[in-house]
Amino acid sequence: MEKDKQLRNKIIQRLKDCELQDDNRVAFHLTPPVGLLNDPNGLVYYKGKYHVFYQWNPFETKHTFKCWGHYSSKDLIHWEEHPPALVPSEWYEKDGCYSGSAIEYNNMLYLFYTGNVKTEEGGRETYQCLAVSEDGIHFDKKGPVIHLPEGYTPHFRDPKVWQQENKWFMVIGAQTTSLDGTVVLFSSDDLEHWQMEGPLAGNGISLPNEFGYMWECPDFFYLNNMDILLVSPQGLKTEPFKYENLFQSGYFIGEWDLMENTFVHGEFSELDHGFDFYAPQTFEDRSGRRILIAWMGMGDEQEQSHHSIKSGWVHALTIPREIYLKDGSLYQKPVEELKQLRKNPKSETITIANEQMEFPLDSELNEVFIDIEQFDGKQFEIQLQNNCKLIFNNEKGILTLERKSFDQGNLETRQCKIDKLQNIHMFLDRSSLEIFINDGQTVFTSRFYKDTVENQCVITVEGKSKFTWENWSLHSYQ
């Protein structure tokens, strides 16, 4: 208890000492009050509120200290900040309260998370832990409920729990002792005693070959009559139009036989093609929507070059997105509630041929929807805030996102293939861009740092196009 109090006081002091003034600070995305944020954790609807916890280092913009930061909201729009839900005060979590999930049971909120321990010999220990709360704010730690089973390295973490057929299930991201990424399934009748059911997916289990050396942050759920496994594999090699970031996040669609614990699934598909998207987590809300939020960031070599670091913070979460299955793909759609942020609507229908057109934006915070009725030609290009460009090459069916790198300022790209460009839905914050293409079938999520104070969008068409342009300025969350 003493250590817990000390850590909390240190965090309170840190919050008092810092005054964040930064033109790059995101305005309608969750971001830490100071320090570093990574994975969303414990997404849940509990006692009338949405809760979003997140991996938080309040002390510096590095992955050293990790506790669970906490926000809640009645409407996914107005957020209230709470004291950290979990701080690493106990022996079984002394080097970090790592990622995990939340569920409601008997009116109580249960958090499952990984206690990370670094040993003096430079090794690592991992414990899957439980903490329980009645008010959703203060948590009572119950300690480890799962210890590392044989056959796995201590890269065994990020428990995601759900209920099905009167039983509790948990998936854990893991690495086998033969260094294959995998997901392991556990079950329980009471949330405290857990049995290992065995591996659910991975090399030699559901896949014929090696597919990454570690799978982080699994999530497993039933959606539109299929079982879907989300996972963030590390160690995939870049291929043309695929796996262009250091680490990936994506999904397998399949069918899970609960009795046999077999998961027969199709190929891995990436959830996002932008520069900054990792460790997504989903939850079901009261209306039955499955909502996804991800870390809008990447722990790559550019992480420490984020311009916001000199102002004491780094990273944010994505906007909440409703997900659904359509024609074998997972679609992502910004949640309806975000419409409440809209102001100053503008709309016009435009026909242009081999032309460039400027669309001034009223503010830095924007939602844009471009509905393409007709496009015949070579290229459709959208430039935003001077240094982000989305280019659709119609002949090759290639979609490219271009931005300036944070460190050198040189142009870098991410690409994927699509058949046709039908519509483009964009959410532009001060330093982030989320682009939903063709009703959310393809998504690009990226951070950027602008080098102009002007707010504008320039569309250039090589060929001929008729489209409707809709634009709203957005309110900030605060």
Give the binding site for ligand FRU (CB under 6 A): 38-39, 55, 66, 98-99, 114, 157-158, 216-217, 278-279
Q: What is the DSSP string of 425-442?
A: EEEE-SSEEEEEEGGGTE
CA distance 191 to 128: 12
Q: How far is the CB of 116 from ligand FRU (least distance, A)?
A: 7
Please say which residue, 297 or 334, places its beta carbon nearer to ligand FRU. Answer: 297
Residue with tokens 């201590």: 154
105 to 134, 146, 190, 352: CA distances (angstroms): 10, 19, 10, 57
Structure tokens at 114: 């990984």
Please say which residue, 215 or 436, places its beta carbon nearer to ligand FRU. Answer: 215
Angle at 158 between CA 273 and CA 206, to 5 degrees: 70
Please say which residue, 275 or 278, places its beta carbon nearer to ligand FRU. Answer: 278
* Interior/surface letters 356-379, b for 16+ CB within 10 angstroms, e for the rest: eeebebebbbbbbebebeebeeee
CA distance 84 to 69: 5
Residues marked as catalytic? 39
Please say which residue, 231 or 330, places its beta carbon nearer to ligand FRU. Answer: 231
Of 143, 259, 138, 137, the closest CA to residue 192 belongs to 143
Q: How far is the CB of 13 from ligand FRU (least distance, A)?
A: 23
Residue with tokens 């930061």: 69
- Distant-in-sequence, close-in-space partners of 59: CB < 8 Å, separation ≥ 6: 10, 14, 35, 65
Q: How far is the CB of 399 from ligand FRU (least distance, A)?
A: 26
For residue 52, the Cα-to-chain-centroid distance in whole angstroms is: 12
Please say which residue, 303 or 402, places its beta carbon nearer to ligand FRU. Answer: 303
Please say which residue, 144 or 440, places its beta carbon nearer to ligand FRU. Answer: 144
Whether the CB-CB separation of 450 and 385 falls below 8 Å is answered with: yes
Q: How far is the CB of 156 from ligand FRU (least distance, A)?
A: 10
Q: How far is the CB of 170 from ligand FRU (least distance, A)?
A: 14
- Side-chain-side CA neighbours of 46 within 13 Å: the count stands at 25
431 to 7, 78, 364: CA distances (angstroms): 31, 20, 9
Please say which residue, 98 or 448, places its beta carbon nearer to ligand FRU. Answer: 98
Q: How far is the CB of 277 from ligand FRU (least distance, A)?
A: 11
For residue 277, the SS3 value is coil
Q: How far is the CB of 279 from ligand FRU (least distance, A)?
A: 5
Residue with tokens 């963030």: 232
